[in-house]
Structure 1
Amino acid sequence: MLTKGDDFPIHQTPEPIAYAGSDRNFYDRYFFNGCSPDGADFFAVAFGVYPALNVADAHFSVIRGGTQHCLHASRVLGMERMDLTVGPIAIEVLEPLQKLRVTVSGEGLSADLVFEGRSFPIEEPRFVKRLGPRLFMDYTRLTQNCRISGWVEVDGERRELSGWTGTRDRSWGIRPVGAPDPQPTPGAGLQGFFWQWTPINFADRSVFFHINADPDGAAWNTRAVILPDGSGPEGGWHAEAPRMEDVDLIPGTRHAKGGTLKIPLAQGEATVRLEPVKTFLMRGIGYGGEWRHGALKGELAVAREDIDLASADMAAMEHLHIQAISRATYEAPGEAPQQGVGVFEQLILGPYRPYGL
């Protein structure tokens, strides 16, 4: 089947673009978030395409006061991967790897947002994880901190974005999507999953850190990057052995009160102290819950969901995956301290012995 993508020189196999290998869990996703300078207002967007499931979905979620307002949309893909619209949510690539636009209009939630990269995106180390004989994850991700312009409107109350920063990423490859496989594979059970991700915006630079670790704390994918504004593809400082220290969990949850990131430098060590100020539930943009990524909802389905954050059970399975909107302090030898803002994303499933879980 030929589609619009076949008229661009982007093929990776002898097949038409409509076909993405043979794994039903192949996906291709956009993610965006944005935060006001004081951390009081926050939004996130997810947009996914699942070629083998023939589904596309999109989500927009914004925190106003103590409520997380969510807009979910899903449709049949029709094997056309170049159509970046799902119901009321759309993406435009204005300048590849530098400038993108997201528009939203539906169910009382609207937005017109332009994301402009502060530097060339970083390519994170390839994520590959097997569970027994099964390939659990195999994907590539680029990440880019951005300055954001535009506006967000909730039930008629519009707020212009002034001084907002955030993060966008693009990832593609294989990870669990849609309905789970009904037949378990002997020797392929998930023993535990540990994830932290901290893209932080400072005045003249971005700091990135991530870690995937086994239940005993051994990292199977980790890196930190310090990236000055305007850096090109080879710019910035890349550290292969960062550490997240001073993590205490909020009682009754698997969410951290805060943390201290240590990044080895040539002249010593950089320290980034993270102070969470607000919790964003990732189920609001399709990471779990009824609107999980890749779920078949029919030809087109659109729904709104409002979550009262004060009454949400933060120990519930659907709320384990969060982004903690955080203030950050950066210190390094020979430099004046800097204040910034970003997220401390967290997901801990199963045991994690370093935290006593």
Structure 2
Amino acid sequence: MVLTKCDDYPLHQTPEPVAYAGTDRNFYDRYFFNGYAGDGSGFFAAAMGIYPHLNVADAHFCVIRDGVQHNLHASRELGMERLDMQVGPIRIEIIEPLQKLRVIVDGDGIKAEITFTGRAFPIEEPRFIHRIGPRTFMDYTRMTQNGHYTGWIEVDGVRMDCAPGTMGTRDRSWGVRPVGSRDEQPHGTGVVPGFFWQWTPLNFADRSVFFHVNADARGHQWNTRAVIAPDGAGPEALFDTEGEMAAPLTPGTRWPRDGVLTIAGPDGPETLTLTPVGRFQMRGLGYTSPKWNHGLYHGPLVVEREDFGLEQCSPGSMDNYHVQLPCKVTSDKHGEGFGVFEQLIIGPYAPMGLKEFMDLG
């Protein structure tokens, strides 16, 4: 049987039941959230991924307290039912589509109930299609939305409410990118795989600013967009523009030291200076994690807690390359705000002088 709850909704994109998602084993459907107080404290993040062809659903919840990143991982067999949005102790509820969602966590020593409310209509980023040599590496769509949070998070019995003004970002993406067990087939002679990613969703008093860029090993930008979203804006009021980021690496790492983003705003060029005040390791959400990478099969249901000190994370280890840095942001035209600077560089990247696969800045 392949009929599921989804089939009673007008969601079909092909003549097949919703349980079948094309023919690419790497198809995925994913939720992501992050949040922080106005000064960057109390950082938390959550994610859930569904992998129909791998028959896996996984989820993660993370929170930073006193320099320690506490991570809760969960994975289960999907069983084709994609509307059951709970993986062990982690659940996502859609209260109002494209506007309000809730994350509920009831795990070993880590519990939470937080509600996200969007500030404006989500932006749709350009379709991500990228090939390395002849092989399709990515082909997916993503939407992004800034918002405010209410609720609470508890770690080992210590409950803290979300501070007034707690803000952050959520995204939804779906399509094809590497998930599950690694493909060991070589790319072929002369093909140099490389991946460069920067993403800076920023929150100001009455607007959001978004910028991202994907580039290959030579620095060719194959996907980029900048958007300004006034609070309450519908899709027609989003200001679509261009941006350019200058961000040197912290010596001995692949992490950004700071950043200067230049965008063309509705009132002329605008310069935004990003100053990091902390660090979040994305492996807590499964990204580049050797054990909890997205879509790996663990069994019918497996839940695990993982805690690590941020100062003990070696920047030379590939599973620590992917970071989000909470940042104070200063605009030369619109005052101060706060956001994150996410970066991942895998392999060589000529514009930063990274010649070998694991060179550090």
TM-score, structure 1 normalization:
0.96
Q: Residues 180 and 189 from structure 1, CA distance in 2 versus in 1: closer, same or farther, beyond 3 angstroms? A: farther
Residues 23-172 of structure 1: pairs in structure 2 closer than 5 A: 23-161=24-162, 162-172=164-174
SS at match of 1:52: helix
Aligned counterparts of 1:291 and 1:235: Cα–Cα separation in 2: 39
Q: Which deviates further from its counterpart, 132-141 or 5-14?
A: 132-141
2:239/2:266 contact within 8 Å kept: no
- Letter matched to residue 46 of structure 2: V
Aligned counterparts of 2:251 and 2:296: Cα–Cα separation in 1: 33
SS at match of 1:125: coil
1:182, distance to aligned residue in structure 2 (A):
3.1
What's 2:321 paired with?
Answer: 320
Matched-pair identity in %? 60
1:73/1:303 contact within 8 Å kept: yes
1:147/1:166 contact within 8 Å kept: yes
2:151/2:161 contact within 8 Å kept: yes
Aligned counterparts of 1:16 and 1:319: Cα–Cα separation in 2: 39
What's 2:345 paired with?
Answer: 348
1:190, distance to aligned residue in structure 2 (A):
4.9
Aligned counterparts of 2:279 and 2:190: Cα–Cα separation in 1: 32
1:189, distance to aligned residue in structure 2 (A):
4.6
- Letter matched to residue 342 of structure 1: G
What's 1:338 paired with?
Answer: 335
1:44/1:62 contact within 8 Å kept: yes
After superposition, what is the alpha-carbon deviation per residue over 1:256-288, rounded to whole angstroms, capped at 9, x for unaligned? Answer: 110100002354201111001111000001102
2:40/2:326 contact within 8 Å kept: yes
Is the aligned partner of 1:242 residue 2:246?
no
- Letter matched to residue 149 of structure 2: I
1:134/1:188 contact within 8 Å kept: no
- Letter matched to residue 275 of structure 2: E
1:187, distance to aligned residue in structure 2 (A):
5.7
Aligned counterparts of 2:228 and 2:281: Cα–Cα separation in 1: 27
SS at match of 2:213: strand
Aligned pair count reads 351
SS at match of 1:72: strand
SS at match of 1:283: helix
Aligned counterparts of 2:92 and 2:256: Cα–Cα separation in 1: 33
- Letter matched to residue 111 of structure 1: A
What's 1:280 paired with?
Answer: 280
Q: Residues 266 and 148 from structure 1, CA distance in 2 versus in 1: closer, same or farther, beyond 3 angstroms? A: closer
SS at match of 2:48: strand
Aligned counterparts of 1:267 and 1:163: Cα–Cα separation in 2: 27
Residues 222-241 of structure 1: pairs in structure 2 closer than 5 A: 222-239=224-241, 241=242
SS at match of 2:102: strand
Aligned counterparts of 1:138 and 1:354: Cα–Cα separation in 2: 25
- Letter matched to residue 192 of structure 1: G
What's 1:221 paired with?
Answer: 223
- Letter matched to residue 73 of structure 2: H
1:236, distance to aligned residue in structure 2 (A):
2.2
Q: Which deviates further from its counterpart, 80-89 or 207-216?
A: 207-216
TM-score, structure 2 normalization:
0.95
2:117/2:147 contact within 8 Å kept: yes
CA RMSD of aligned residues (A): 1.2
Aligned counterparts of 1:285 and 1:206: Cα–Cα separation in 2: 24
SS at match of 2:54: coil
Aligned counterparts of 1:68 and 1:266: Cα–Cα separation in 2: 39
Structure 2: which 5+ residue stretches go unaligned? Answer: 355-361
1:191, distance to aligned residue in structure 2 (A):
2.3
What's 1:186 paired with?
Answer: 188
Aligned counterparts of 2:74 and 2:59: Cα–Cα separation in 1: 5
Structure 1 segments, 4+ long, off by >6 Å, are: none
SS at match of 1:78: coil
1:73/1:300 contact within 8 Å kept: yes
SS at match of 1:234: helix
Aligned counterparts of 2:167 and 2:27: Cα–Cα separation in 1: 30
Aligned counterparts of 1:303 and 1:169: Cα–Cα separation in 2: 24
1:248, distance to aligned residue in structure 2 (A):
2.0
